Structure 1
Amino acid sequence: MMGEGGKAGEGKNGNGSKTIEQIAPSSPLYLHPSDSPNLPLTNIIFNGENYDLWADAVRNGLDAKNKLGFVEGTIKRPEVIEGEEETLPSVAWRQCNAMVKAWLRSVIDHRLHSSITFSGTVMEIWKELKERYSNGNAPRVHQLKGELNECKQAKNQSVVGYYTRLKAIWDELGNYSHVPQCTCGAAAALTKERD
């Protein structure tokens, strides 16, 4: 329940008794008591070369915790008026931003920490990592096509193991292939061919 003026801490309700402000559990600004800075969002550690796989796993973990908006920038920091007490939503946003930053650090190789140490918000860190490490470029597509061309089932490898490896290459290659929108029907033909 929000106190008077939306200030952090305690307020008074209509009958004069004290109320304690709370963030609703359904809010993206809510931190569960079991949330910890060392809580891993995924078991995939970003090493500078596996950005796309790592980013997908982290986005999934953050979505499950209702914090995806922090990396997407859709959960904006509430305005803090200079000289006034910080509001509960502002405090909660600051704490959640710090928690998500800690979660990101816990799934990034320690050798890369210095490159993100001084970023202010989770969104800034996310954008910086994406700009620097996202492999949505021609060299990676060429590398994947080469891997696909050379992909063969090893003698002792199961069909399931071989298919899993092959599908991983197909899926990553599919991430870089975007079918443009059109009204002529060519996009549908391209999609059918890719399938």
Structure 2
Amino acid sequence: MASSSTVVPDTSATSGTDIKNSKVSVLDHPRMVMILAPLNGSNWLSWSRSVRIALEGRDKLGFIYGTCAKPTDGSADLMQWRITDSMVRTWILNTISKDIVNAYLYATSATALWLELEARYGESDGLLLYKIQREIGSMTTRELECYCLLHQYEAVVG
């Protein structure tokens, strides 16, 4: 179920190794606050959505989806790619709860980190979907006016 929560953007317009996505802006720094609620192990859906929005705003989604591929050894672009990938990893690590972050410090790339997090926490989407469907099914018409659960359901099924 975890893979259904990840939507890989269309990259047909750019090469997977397009170096333009590897540029780090002077406004980018490791302690930049990307999102307010850190990943705590039970909030994968909202956390991952917030991180994807933040990375999309910085044109760095390719680093977690693997579409901004690492240049070959000896490439002039390799150093810039490493710098940017390290920055993206740092941003993500800074949005993970202090209680669980140490388990992810040794990820070798932003893509590897994202896949590891998704494998660990994204699997619970199916259980959450079942719980929400049960709660919606037991609601009366009047209770359905509360859109809180419906929004959660839409977030799960995409």
2:70 to 77, 98, 102: 77
Instruction: List aligned pairs for 1:80-119, cutoff 5 A.
Output: 80-81=73-74, 87=76, 89-119=77-107
C-alpha deviation, 1:41, in angstroms: 1.4
Q: Could you list the per-position Cα deviations for residues 45-66 of structure 1 after superposition, in whole angstroms to 9, with x for gaps in the alignment? A: 1110000111001000000000
Query: What runs of 5+ residues in structure 2 fail to find an aligned partner?
Result: 1-18
Report the TM-score, using the length of structure 2 for normalisation: 0.76
- Give the aligned partner of residue 38 of structure 2: 45
More moved, 167-176 vs 50-59: 167-176
Please list the CA deviations of residues 53-91 of structure 1 after superposition, one character each: whole Å capped at 9, or x if unmatched: 11001000000000000001000011014xxxx62x111
Query: 1:136 aligns to what?
Result: 125
Which amino acid counterpart does residue 55 of structure 1 have in structure 2? S
Question: Is 1:174 the counterpart of 2:154 in the alignment?
Answer: yes
- Residues 138-174 of structure 1 show CA distances to partners (whole Å, capped at 9, x for unaligned) of x2223223444469x9xxxxxxxx96xx434212323
Partner secondary structure for residue 47 of structure 2: helix
Aligned counterpart, 2:24? 31
Change (3 A) 1:168 1:80: farther
Q: Say whether residues 1:63 and 2:56 are aligned partners.
A: yes
Percent of matched pairs sharing the same residue: 21
Find the aligned partners of 1:177 and 1:104 in 2 and give their Cα distance.
24
Aligned residue for 1:32, secondary structure, equals: coil
| Structure 1 match to 2:14 | none
Secondary structure at the counterpart of residue 111 of structure 1? coil
What SS does the corresponding residue of 1:136 show, helix, strand or coil?
helix
CA distance in 2, matches of 1:168, 1:67: 30
CA drift at 1:37? 0.4
Please report how far the alpha carbon of residue 109 of structure 1 lies from its aligned counterpart in structure 2 after TM superposition: 0.3
Counterpart of 1:10 in structure 2 is none
Q: Is the 8 A contact 2:23 2:80 kept in 1?
A: yes
Structure 2 contact 45–156 (Cα < 8 Å) conserved: no
Which is richer in helix?
Answer: 2
* Counterpart in the other structure of 1:185: none
Letter paired with 1:169: L
Structure 2 counterpart SS, 1:61: helix
How far is the alpha carbon of 1:36 from its aligned partner? 0.7
**Superposition CA RMSD, Å:** 2.6
